[in-house]
Amino acid sequence: MSKKKTWFYLFSAPVLIALFLVVLLPFFYGIFYSFTNWDGVSQSAFVGISNYINALKDPTYLASLWFTIKFSVIAIVLINVIGLGLAVLVTNKFKGANILRTIFFMPNLIGGLILGFIWQFIFVEAFSAFGKLTGIPGLGSWLATTNTGFWALVIVMVWQYSGYIMVIYISYLQGIDQSLLEAADLDGASATQKFWQIKFPLIMPGFTVSLFMTLSNCFKLYDQNLSLTAGGPYNSTQMVAMNIYNTAFSMNKMGFAQAKAVIFFVFVAIISLTQVYLTSRKEIEA
């Protein structure tokens, strides 16, 4: 046993033990639980794959999954388009550009739970006050219907994450070789041409990162969902994370909830890996 190996194991042990006990052990335990009728209290029995079959037949689970997918697709597109737009805006030189950057990023410092509460006030009170003031119809009780509740969640998510994604795009925009843009200027390229022909292809790697981050944040969303709509009305704005939580801790069907959680993991893993694979392949082509 050489001395070299001892320090290697000693230095990596604390983190590995934590990773093992906190992530890996529960992960494999969870797969085991998902095949039982465990309720958190009494002795559990092996039930085969019936939890999985029931999960895929559970209308509330499927509805929450579908709601999450719809929400994520729309939020991801809006966050990335707006985030890139904000990045392009604040990388121009004008008075106030730095202040704007600070303002756009600010919501990310504050937790989703608290942001959801602030927006609950806005959707309930400020929206209706604004509607009365301007005469714009349909601004009352936004959290009371499924459709407006959906858009309320989208608005909060876009408002929060666009600034985060903006920061990522800024670092790619600033990494662009200035001589390329100067050469394009000499050739008489317009601002639009410069954006689509030069900047856009060069910030493609930024898309991989941003899509990956927005995707996983949208899919796993819980805090904002809880504090903004709490799933209401009638669980119609419930997202997957909340459905799993409620199945486990309100209904005490731990095994059943864990089967839902395993399906959720497979879903997230497949989408993330596919997305990273597709976007990184595009980068090489471009």
Partner 1 sequence: MHAEKNTKKIWMIIVGCILGVIWISPFYLMLTNSFKTKKELFSDTLGLPKHLNFDNYVNSAKDLNVVSTFMNSLVITVVSVAIIILFSSLAAYAIQRTKSKWSGFFYMLFVAAMLVPFQSVMIPLVSVFGRVNMLNRPGLVFMYLGFGASMSVFLYNGAMKGIPQALDEAAIIDGASRWQIFTKVIFPMLQPTTVTVALLNVMWIWNDYLLPSLVINQPGSQTIPLTMFDFFGQFTKQWHLAMAGLTIAIIPVIIFYFVMQKQIIAGVSEGAVK
Residue 53: CB minimum distance to partner 1, A: 19
User: Using the rule CB under 8 A, which residue among 180, 198, 268, 275 binds partner 1?
Assistant: 268
**Residues in 197-216 at the binding interface with partner 1, rule: CB under 8 A:** 209-210, 213, 216
Residue 205: CB minimum distance to partner 1, A: 8
Return the range that interacts with partner 1 (CB under 8 A); candidates 45-53, 56-64, 142-150, 170-178: 170-178
Please give the angle made by the CA atoms of 182, 183 and 189, to the nearest 5 degrees.
90
**C-beta separation of 162 from 104 below 8 A:** yes
Task: Give me the long-range contacts of 197-203 (CB less than 8 A, separation at least 24).
Answer: 199/173, 201/286, 202/172, 202/175, 202/176, 203/84, 203/169, 203/172, 203/173, 203/176
Q: Is the CB of 67 or the CB of 172 nearer to partner 1?
A: 172
| x/- letters, 67..96, toward partner 1 (CB under 8 A) | -------------------x--xx-x-xxx
**C-beta separation of 76 from 62 below 8 A:** no
User: Using the rule CB under 8 A, which residue among 170, 211, 215, 228 binds partner 1?
Assistant: 170
Q: Is the CB of 84 or the CB of 90 nearer to partner 1?
A: 90
User: Using the rule CB under 8 A, which residue among 159, 232, 235, 282 binds partner 1?
Assistant: 159
User: Using the rule CB under 8 A, which residue among 53, 62, 73, 110 binds partner 1?
Assistant: 110
Q: CA distances (Å), 100 to each of 13, 87, 90, 154, in order?
A: 44, 10, 7, 22
Q: Give the integer Cα–Cα distance in Å for 256 and 56.
A: 11
Token code pair at residue 259: 């089967």
Q: Is the CB of 97 or the CB of 144 nearer to partner 1?
A: 97
User: Using the rule CB under 8 A, which residue among 167, 180, 184, 202 binds partner 1?
Assistant: 167
Residue 239: CB minimum distance to partner 1, A: 10
Q: Give the integer Cα–Cα distance in Å for 207 and 165.
A: 9
Question: Could you say which DSSP state residue 37 is in?
Answer: -
Residue position matching structure tokens 């966050």: 79
**Residues in 216-255 at the binding interface with partner 1, rule: CB under 8 A:** 216, 219-220, 222-223, 226-227, 240-241, 244-245, 248-249, 254
